[in-house]
């Protein structure tokens, strides 16, 4: 089992490069199935989830290679249409392959990803949208079997702006005859990045980043070269770490606009934040002050993925902060671990009231990807030594996490037993 040993209390100073966005590269890797050609993707982080997505592409018949942060996918040959159970289990978001496999092969077989540590994560919105586009879907022994001989575009109204359902619908719609309109679509920057990729491949897509996306069916056939957008959740995590530890940190290769809500909370808590082009500099006060209520919302609201790291910072502040989690029903599991470090957090349903105080080192366990990152943020700000266990979660979404923190002056060491 791998764990970090963190010696808390060091101020963070210096600059850190932000990697490409995990949540952007995953749907784009799935989308490379569509064009039956060569796709060159720059700024691809080397993460466990990205490796899982590459394994799925290889299983389906694609040829994939990596050189530095550039991943090349040749999807000329796709001779399978199933995603095996082991790969589905490895990464729940592999359901994003459903739409592209269906669009490319006319059929798909995936096992159901099952529940998750942050909530149930159903895929009913994905399935009902695909059914409306003409897919015939059966569930059999834990597998979903999809067939589509005649996909037809039409209006798809999502009852919630689900990121994954928007992406799956958008990807399937490229193979539909006629026009598909996705109404109440998710507006996350990762959707805009996917649209950009699809347009380069020759798809006719408009409206990415807005609530209505229009896809005029025309199979994307062009080779693509594309650079993945910066990871706004990784950027927010480093901002929270800098805010909690004090000091001055500059993020390079980041997109300030995409972390606007997180920056606002940190400014309210006393940080000075300046941005220019693709850099963001945060100067932390000696101790953070209180922040206004943090309510997670679909983009452009406060991201649910940044709730845990910001809560870790709030645990060290002078004053209190109220967190309301509206997206996932079980996303406060890190709170019990933060309490082991002395955090004062009171939870009632989807609300957590945090009263800041000095944290102390403790042995804690990552509960999920962002919850794990939050424990590292708290351990960095705590007095004394902490051990953060179950790094498999953190490895899914943070590239060179410890190395980047060490470059900022943190005392953190990885142990792989
Ligand atoms: C994506 C992100 C994840 C982020 C989340 C919300 C990726 C790979 N993951 O996940 O990091 O936390 O967006 O910003 O991009 N829902 C349904 N039925 C469905 C689909 C979703 O009820 O068919 C519900 C979910 O249970 C959840 C809410 O909708 O309560 C939001 O989920 P969704 O936006 O779909 O998140 P993901 O795409 O899974």
pLDDT higher than 70, residue 118: no
Cβ atoms 185, 166 nearer than 8 A: yes
HSE-CB at 44 with a 13 A cutoff on CA atoms is 28
For 374, the token pair is: 């939050």
Output the CA angle 197-301-160, nearest 5 degrees.
70
For 58, the token pair is: 């290889």
For 16, the token pair is: 């850190």
HSE-CB at 411 with a 13 A cutoff on CA atoms is 14
- Give residue 93 CA to ligand 1 midpoint distance, Å: 9
- Give residue 221 CA to ligand 1 midpoint distance, Å: 29
Domains of the chain: 2-19+230-416 (3.65.10.10), 22-227 (3.65.10.10)
Q: How far apart are CA 110 and CA 98, in angstroms?
A: 7
| Probe residue for ligand 1, chosen from 121, 186, 191 as the CB with the greatest number of ligand atoms within 8 Å | 121
pLDDT tens digits, 244-285: 999 999 999 999 999 999 999 999 999 999 999 999 999 999
- Enumerate the H helices of 285-400 as residue ranges: 307-314, 333-340, 369-381, 391-395
Cβ atoms 248, 265 nearer than 8 A: no
The helix (run of H) or strand (run of E) holding residue 239 is helix 232-245
pLDDT higher than 50, residue 115: no
For 385, the token pair is: 């030594």
Q: How confident is the model at residue 93 (pLDDT cuts 50, 70, 90)?
A: confident
Average pLDDT value for residue range 352-378: 96
The helix (run of H) or strand (run of E) holding residue 319 is none
State residue 116's pLDDT score: 47
State residue 34's pLDDT score: 96
What whole-number percentage of the chain has pLDDT above 90? 89
Q: How confident is the model at residue 301 (pLDDT cuts 50, 70, 90)?
A: very high
* CA distance to 91, 189, 216, 388, per residue, from 394 (Å): 13, 22, 39, 10
Ligand 1 atom 26: the closest Cα is on which residue?
121
Average pLDDT value for residue range 56-66: 97
Q: How far apart are CA 53 and CA 264, in angstroms?
A: 34
State residue 329's pLDDT score: 86
pTM of the model: 0.96
Please work out whether the CB of residue 370 comes within 6 Å of at least one atom of ligand 1: no
267 Cβ contact list (under 8 Å, min separation 6): 273
Tokens 């408009």 — which residue?
Answer: 206
The torsion angle over the Cα atoms of residues 20, 407, 305 and 372, rounded to 10 degrees, is 120
For 220, the token pair is: 């994307």
Residue of 116, 176, 240, 271 with catalytic role:
116
State residue 120's pLDDT score: 61
pLDDT tens digits, 186-212: 999 999 999 999 999 999 999 999 999
Q: How far apart are CA 220 and CA 199, in angstroms?
A: 8
Strands (E), 143-291: 143-147, 155-157, 179-183, 204-206, 212-216, 224-227, 247-252, 272-276, 279-283
232 Cβ contact list (under 8 Å, min separation 6): 21, 189, 254, 255, 258, 259, 303
- Give residue 30 CA to ligand 1 midpoint distance, Å: 17
State residue 92's pLDDT score: 77
Catalytic-residue membership of 315: no
Please work out whether the CB of residue 93 comes within 6 Å of at least one atom of ligand 1: yes
User: In the chain, what is the straight-line distance between the N-terminal and C-terminal CA atoms, in Å?
Assistant: 5
* Cis check: omega of the bond before 300, within 30 degrees of 0: yes
């Amino acid at each position: 089992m791998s764990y970090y040993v963190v010696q808390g209390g060091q101020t963070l100073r210096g600059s850190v490069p932000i990697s490409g966005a995990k949540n952007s590269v995953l749907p784009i890797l799935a989308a490379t199935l569509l064009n039956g050609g060569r796709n060159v993707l720059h700024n691809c982080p080397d993460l466990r989830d990205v490796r899982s997505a590459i394994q799925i592409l290889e299983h389906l018949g694609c040829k994939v290679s990596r050189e530095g942060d550039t991943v090349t996918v040749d999807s000329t040959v796709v001779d399978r249409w199933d995603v095996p159970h082991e790969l589905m289990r490895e990464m729940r978001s592999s359901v994003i392959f459903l739409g592209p496999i269906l669009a490319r092969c006319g059929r798909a077989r995936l096992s159901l990803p099952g529940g998750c540590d942050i909530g149930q994560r159903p895929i009913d919105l994905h399935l009902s949208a695909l059914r409306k586009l003409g897919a015939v879907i059966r569930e059999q022994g834990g597998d979903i079997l999809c067939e589509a001989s005649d996909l037809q575009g039409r209006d798809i109204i999502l009852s919630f702006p689900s990121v994954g359902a928007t992406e799956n619908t958008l990807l399937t719609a490229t193979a539909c005859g006629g026009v598909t309109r996705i109404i109440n679509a998710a507006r996350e920057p990762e959707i805009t990045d996917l649209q950009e990729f699809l347009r380069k491949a020759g798809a006719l897509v408009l409206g990415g980043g807005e609530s209505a996306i229009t896809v005029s069916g025309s199979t994307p056939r062009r080779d693509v070269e594309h650079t993945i957008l910066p990871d706004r959740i990784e950027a927010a995590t480093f901002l929270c770490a800098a805010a909690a530890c004090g000091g001055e940190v500059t993020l390079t290769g980041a997109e300030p606009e995409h972390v606007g809500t997180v920056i606002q909370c940190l400014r309210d808590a006393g940080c000075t934040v300046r941005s220019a082009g693709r850099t963001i500099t945060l100067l932390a006060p000696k101790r953070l002050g209180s922040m206004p209520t943090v309510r997670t919302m679909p983009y452009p609201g406060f991201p649910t993925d940044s709730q845990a790291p910001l809560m870790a910072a709030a645990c060290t502040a002078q004053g209190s902060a109220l967190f309301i989690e509206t997206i996932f029903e079980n996303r406060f599991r890190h709170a019990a671990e933060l309490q082991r470090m002395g955090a004062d957090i009171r939870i009632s349903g989807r609300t957590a009231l945090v009263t800041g105080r000095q944290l102390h080192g403790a042995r804690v366990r990552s509960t999920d990807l962002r919850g794990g990152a939050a424990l590292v943020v708290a351990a960095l700000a705590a007095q004394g030594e902490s051990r953060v266990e179950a790094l498999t979660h953190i490895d899914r979404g943070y590239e060179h996490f410890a190395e980047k923190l060490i470059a900022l002056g943190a005392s953190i060491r990885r142990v792989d037993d």
